[in-house]
Amino acid sequence: MKKEIVINTSTAETRIALLEDGQLAEVFVERPENERHVGDIYLGRVRKVLNGISAAFVDIGWEQDGFLHFNDVGSLYEMDDAEEEGNGNGSGNGGRSRSPAQVNLRAGQEILVQITKEPIGGKGPRVTSQVSLPGRFVVLVPNEELIGVSRKIADPKEKRRLKKLGKELKEYGYGLIIRTVAQEKDDPTLRMDIEKLVDTWKRIEKKMKGASAPSMIYKEMSLASSVIRDLFGPDIDRVVVDSKPLFKELVQYLESVSPTLVDRVEHYKEKIPLFDHYKIESEIEKGIRRKVFLPGGGYIIIEHTEAMVVVDVNSGRFVGKQNHEENSLKVNLRAAREICRQLRLRDIGGIIVIDFIDLWDEKNRKKIYDEVKKELKKDRAKVDVAPIAHFGLMMMTRQRIKPSLLFTFKEPCPTCHGTGMIPSKETVVTELERWIARYMNRTGKRRLRLVVHPDLNAFLTHGGLKSRLNKIMLQKRILIRMKVDGGLPPTEFKGFSVSDGVDVTDQYRQ
């Protein structure tokens, strides 16, 4: 598979696209007003500890507190008898759920935390006290003793070699996780990477001693640099950048960590915009639509809700030449491949429910499940997926680190507030009548000036003498003067007292 990384920069944002065989697979976006925070380290202060939900809220100086689950509390904040209570090896949580009795946290306590998930919606950032510093080849885990090797390294011999090397290089008080790109790397290369990370950690400790909570202690590198660090390995054929300063920065970084990859970085100088040249702009536009068409017929609908993301598979105009079961299987297989691609492209996380076209044969359902599992192997995020259930639904959870691509490029409609629906004109008029009744009952006045959207005005005044407006005035025995305001939402109205011209809308809402 041919893989390319394409980086476009502008004054407003930096966009990075990962292409696989010329097809857009992932998109990363960073803007000055909405910069990336995952990896940042803060000296925070515990605001409150809630044993009922096994979590604490930590003030890191943001408007929203960080959410610290007990499972993300490092060994520094364990009770002395945590191991006896079942924590296991004393580093991390051993894969087990941690009880309140095992965690040594209290309100007002200072604590060093690292952001692991961006704030999403009304939720604050998720944080961990198990701080880690990623390098090119290894991840340094201070205050832990673990030695880990990437699961993506399949060769058992190489895995054993790296683990042995890690034990030899590890200093007391530092854990190490050896990354996939460390394959075939020698002792001096890994040692150099570790030494840089240890120096960084010592600077963090020094800064922390003179800091007061809440305050930022360490800022993770820029999006472009971190993507190059984490993704640019031997499997990437080339990196194309349209910014000369960034091109020089990346070359300088690679010369120090992976000189063999320098010649794969190219500076794009053509007049055609970079993302237009690779047809990425159109793919991004498709990536935020509700409806995605499948090759050969059929389509999928992707809906975001507060609790989960729901995907519906439809055959559309696809007819096929086989029987219904075979036709449905074909559409479902195409949909399975496209859904897995869309999950990566849109960076959809949380709970995902997929409604495939009904299949009666259990073997065919198994084929869909196997296809999804195969496609998900391309995904760097952690994904758990269950087989298709009796009702034809497949459920999965996907690791969520930042808001979906949809919420990066779009924002909720101020009129419908993201629901896609607004009250009908009849509903608005009924609400208006109730408002007029309250106004008359509480003030005793029988004159009113209304300001409405042109569409609502046309709806109220249509029909001349028999218009809805005239009926309201006759029934309520009130004189209403109408004024049109195109800047007002079509579902709202404003009422003004004629005697003094005061806006009285909110006074009589309830």
pLDDT means over runs of 10, the chain (510 residues): 89 87 87 80 93 91 91 74 38 54 84 90 86 90 85 86 84 82 85 89 91 91 83 88 90 85 91 90 84 87 89 77 81 93 89 92 92 91 90 89 75 76 89 92 91 93 88 92 91 90 86
Task: Give me the pLDDT at residue 120, please.
Answer: 79
Task: Give me the pLDDT at residue 83, please.
Answer: 40
Distance CA 92, CA 146 (A): 9
Report whether 452 contacts 496 (CB < 8 A): no
Peptide bond into 214 cis (omega under 30): yes
Helix (H, G, I), strand (E, B) or coil at 1: coil
- Partner residues linked to 398 by β-bridges: 350, 383
Report whether 72 contacts 129 (CB < 8 A): yes
Secondary structure E strands in 61-211: 66-69, 110-117, 126-128, 133-134, 138-142, 147-149, 174-178
**What single string gives the DSSP state of each residue in 260-303?**
GGGGGEEE---SS-HHHHTTHHHHHHHTT-SEEEPTTS-EEEEE
Task: Give me the pLDDT at residue 170, please.
Answer: 74
Task: Give me the pLDDT at residue 80, please.
Answer: 53
Within 399-507, residue ranges assigned H as helices are 405-409, 425-443, 454-461, 468-476
Q: Which two tokens stand for residue 191?
A: 């040692």
Q: What is the pTM of this model?
A: 0.73
Q: Which two tokens stand for residue 285?
A: 């536009």
Distance CA 362, CA 367 (A): 9
Distance CA 134, CA 363 (A): 43
Task: Give me the pLDDT at residue 465, please.
Answer: 82
Helix (H, G, I), strand (E, B) or coil at 195: helix
